[in-house]
Amino acid sequence: NAGVTQTPKFQVLKTGQSMTLQCAQDMNHNSMYWYRQDPGMGLRLIYYSASEGTTDKGEVPNGYNVSRLNKREFSLRLESAAPSQTSVYFCASSEAASGGYEQYFGPGTRLTVT
Protein backbone atom coordinates (compact mmCIF):
# COMPACT_ATOMS: atom_id res chain seq x y z
CA ASN A 1 0.00 0.00 0.00
CA ALA A 2 1.39 3.38 -0.99
CA GLY A 3 -1.04 5.24 1.28
CA VAL A 4 -1.47 8.82 0.06
CA THR A 5 0.60 9.91 -2.92
CA GLN A 6 1.04 13.44 -4.26
CA THR A 7 2.52 14.79 -7.47
CA PRO A 8 4.58 16.77 -8.11
CA LYS A 9 6.95 16.98 -5.13
CA PHE A 10 8.26 20.42 -6.10
CA GLN A 11 6.98 23.10 -8.44
CA VAL A 12 7.96 26.64 -9.34
CA LEU A 13 5.37 28.84 -11.06
CA LYS A 14 5.34 32.38 -12.31
CA THR A 15 2.56 34.69 -11.15
CA GLY A 16 -0.55 34.09 -13.22
CA GLN A 17 0.31 30.55 -14.31
CA SER A 18 -2.03 27.69 -13.52
CA MET A 19 -1.39 24.20 -12.30
CA THR A 20 -3.07 21.15 -10.79
CA LEU A 21 -1.78 19.24 -7.80
CA GLN A 22 -2.67 15.59 -7.89
CA CYS A 23 -3.50 13.34 -4.94
CA ALA A 24 -4.45 9.67 -4.79
CA GLN A 25 -5.10 7.25 -1.91
CA ASP A 26 -5.30 3.47 -1.98
CA MET A 27 -6.92 2.93 1.43
CA ASN A 28 -10.52 3.05 0.18
CA HIS A 29 -11.14 6.12 2.31
CA ASN A 30 -14.31 8.13 1.86
CA SER A 31 -12.96 11.55 2.85
CA MET A 32 -10.11 13.54 1.37
CA TYR A 33 -8.59 16.92 2.23
CA TRP A 34 -6.23 19.59 0.95
CA TYR A 35 -4.18 21.65 3.42
CA ARG A 36 -1.53 24.28 3.11
CA GLN A 37 1.27 24.63 5.63
CA ASP A 38 2.93 27.96 6.29
CA PRO A 39 5.51 28.78 8.98
CA GLY A 40 3.91 29.65 12.32
CA MET A 41 0.40 28.89 11.10
CA GLY A 42 0.12 25.13 11.29
CA LEU A 43 -1.93 23.42 8.62
CA ARG A 44 -4.97 25.20 7.26
CA LEU A 45 -7.75 23.41 5.44
CA ILE A 46 -8.32 24.60 1.87
CA TYR A 47 -11.05 22.23 0.66
CA TYR A 48 -12.33 18.85 1.64
CA SER A 49 -14.47 16.09 0.20
CA ALA A 50 -16.46 14.20 2.79
CA SER A 51 -17.44 11.56 0.25
CA GLU A 52 -17.20 10.89 -3.47
CA GLY A 53 -19.18 13.47 -5.37
CA THR A 54 -19.09 16.18 -2.69
CA THR A 55 -16.66 19.01 -2.02
CA ASP A 56 -16.77 21.82 0.53
CA LYS A 57 -14.74 24.89 1.35
CA GLY A 58 -12.39 24.90 4.27
CA GLU A 59 -10.71 27.77 6.05
CA VAL A 60 -8.75 29.27 3.13
CA PRO A 61 -10.44 28.36 -0.20
CA ASN A 62 -9.90 31.60 -2.15
CA GLY A 63 -7.78 31.13 -5.28
CA TYR A 64 -8.26 27.35 -5.38
CA ASN A 65 -10.61 24.84 -6.94
CA VAL A 66 -10.88 21.12 -6.37
CA SER A 67 -12.20 18.05 -8.13
CA ARG A 68 -13.03 14.72 -6.52
CA LEU A 69 -12.42 12.68 -9.65
CA ASN A 70 -13.39 9.37 -8.08
CA LYS A 71 -13.06 7.76 -4.66
CA ARG A 72 -9.27 7.51 -4.98
CA GLU A 73 -8.34 10.89 -6.44
CA PHE A 74 -8.73 14.49 -5.28
CA SER A 75 -7.03 17.28 -7.22
CA LEU A 76 -6.33 20.90 -6.30
CA ARG A 77 -6.14 23.54 -9.01
CA LEU A 78 -4.61 26.99 -8.90
CA GLU A 79 -6.13 28.93 -11.80
CA SER A 80 -3.91 32.02 -11.56
CA ALA A 81 -1.07 31.54 -9.11
CA ALA A 82 -0.07 34.38 -6.77
CA PRO A 83 3.04 34.74 -4.57
CA SER A 84 0.76 34.40 -1.52
CA GLN A 85 0.14 30.81 -2.60
CA THR A 86 3.78 29.89 -2.03
CA SER A 87 3.44 27.11 0.52
CA VAL A 88 3.71 23.40 1.17
CA TYR A 89 0.51 21.59 0.19
CA PHE A 90 -0.60 18.38 1.84
CA CYS A 91 -3.31 16.02 0.79
CA ALA A 92 -4.86 13.73 3.40
CA SER A 93 -7.54 11.07 3.58
CA SER A 94 -9.62 9.44 6.28
CA GLU A 95 -12.26 6.78 6.57
CA ALA A 96 -14.87 9.42 7.42
CA ALA A 97 -14.99 13.17 7.87
CA SER A 98 -15.67 13.23 11.59
CA GLY A 99 -15.87 11.07 14.68
CA GLY A 100 -12.18 10.83 15.37
CA TYR A 101 -11.08 8.97 12.28
CA GLU A 102 -7.34 9.29 11.71
CA GLN A 103 -6.24 11.39 8.77
CA TYR A 104 -3.35 10.02 6.73
CA PHE A 105 -1.15 12.59 5.03
CA GLY A 106 0.81 12.51 1.81
CA PRO A 107 4.44 13.69 1.56
CA GLY A 108 3.54 17.16 0.37
CA THR A 109 4.13 19.42 -2.63
CA ARG A 110 6.42 22.40 -2.16
CA LEU A 111 5.16 25.21 -4.38
CA THR A 112 6.97 28.47 -5.04
CA VAL A 113 5.26 31.26 -6.96
CA THR A 114 7.60 34.01 -8.22
Partner 1 sequence: QQQVKQSPQSLIVQKGGISIINCAYENTAFDYFPWYQQFPGKGPALLIAIRPDVSEKKEGRFTISFNKSAKQFSLHIMDSQPGDSATYFCAAIDYKLSFGAGTTVTVRA
Q: Which residues bind partner 1 (CB under 8 A)?
A: 4, 33, 40-45, 48, 58, 90, 92, 97-100, 102-103, 105-108
Nearer to partner 1, 42 or 53 (CB): 42
Q: Rounded to whole angstroms, how far apart are CA atoms 66 and 46?
A: 9
Find out whether 112 and 19 touch, Cβ atoms under 8 Å: no
- Give the nearer residue to partner 1 in terms of CB position, either 28 or 102: 102
Q: Residue 6 Cβ, how far from partner 1 at the closest point, in Å? A: 9
Which residue, 72 or 105, is less far from partner 1 as judged by CB? Answer: 105
